[in-house]
């Protein structure tokens, strides 16, 4: 993990992770994700690999940008928002 932190702090282009559920779990667990682009497709598969598995640390995220493609794909960009604020979703 020290090498990933060193890479993250280097003055270099951004690092992107595409479709690696295992690597993203490691990055999330170590606070190394600065921005997350989630693409939600209008289909249900019923089974498959989950992005946020048991053991993923709880964290708050704020919506930084969003778009919807002509095919209905929702592209949402999130950035860390710190600790989760506990409370109610009721107005």
User: What tokens were used for 8?
Assistant: 């993250």
pLDDT along the chain (91 residues), means of 10: 79 79 83 90 84 83 97 96 75 55
Q: Which domains, ranges and CATH numbers included, belong to the chain? A: 2-47+55-82 (3.40.430.10)
Q: In the prediction, which pLDDT does 88 show? A: 67
Q: In the prediction, which pLDDT does 72 show? A: 97
Q: In the prediction, which pLDDT does 90 show? A: 63
Rounded CA-CA distance 33/27 in Å is 6
Half-sphere exposure of 22 (CA within 13 A, CB side): 0
Q: In the prediction, which pLDDT does 21 show? A: 74
Q: Strand order of the sheet with strand 74-82?
A: 36-40, 74-82, 60-68
């Amino acid at each position: 993990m020290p090498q990933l932190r060193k890479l993250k702090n280097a003055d270099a282009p951004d690092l992107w992770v595409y479709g690696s559920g295992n690597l993203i779990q490691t990055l999330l667990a170590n606070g190394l994700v600065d921005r997350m682009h989630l693409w939600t497709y209008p289909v249900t598969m019923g089974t498959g690999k989950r992005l946020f598995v048991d053991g993923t640390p709880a964290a708050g995220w704020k919506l930084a940008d969003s778009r919807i493609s002509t095919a209905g794909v929702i592209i949402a960009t999130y950035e860390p928002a710190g600790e989760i604020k506990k409370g109610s979703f009721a107005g």
